[in-house]
Amino acid sequence: MTDSPESRNSGGMGRMLGSWLSGPEAAADRRPTADKYRGQALGLPEEGPGSLARSGKRVWAIFLDWFGCSIICGMAVGFMSSTFSTLVLGVWFAVGVFCVTLFGFTPGQFAAGLRVARVDGAPHVGIIRAFARQILIVFMIPPLINDLDGRGLHDRATQTALVLTR
């Protein structure tokens, strides 16, 4: 008895849709190795410098960056100016691209003890990755959707990770 194309496809399609509809837990079951901690698949340590940053520190860092840019823009154009919000976003964007490209962290990330690292081990993030990462963060949805390691979609798309420095 030979398998017809319909019978072969029906089992595969069910498995594909079943894992998609079941959520991220189903994908975790198919992972080649069972990771003991977040970042193990990336070759990062479990704790300490170089380990993946937790959500609390990431939010604190972005708050510090936004607050600093707000103070600078408020002093430049006034806090009640009609262009204040747009200017804050522009300055925050420029600071993010410039600082991550040159130093690997923004001022807020530095204060929170974080840095942006490439997952392939290269020493510098580079301007293209920093620019793409910052554009994705502007839309706020990519940072809110995390993978099994806790990295946002913006980090997955740019092959980076936010790691601890201390």
Could you report the per-residue pLDDT of 120-163, keeping only the tens digit for each? Answer: 989 999 999 999 999 999 998 888 888 888 889 999 999 999 99
pTM for the predicted model, two decimal places: 0.77
In this predicted structure, what is the pLDDT of residue 147? 86
In this predicted structure, what is the pLDDT of residue 25? 55
The contacts of residue 96 (CB under 8 Å, 6+ apart) are: 65, 106, 130, 133, 134, 137
For residue 92, is pLDDT > 90?
yes
For residue 108, is pLDDT > 70?
yes
Could you report the per-residue pLDDT of 16-54, keeping only the tens digit for each? Answer: 444 445 555 545 555 555 678 888 888 899 999 999 999
Residue 163 exposed, middle or buried by CB count within 10 Å (0-12, 13-18, 19+): buried
- Nearest CA to 119 out of 39, 54, 46 is that of 39
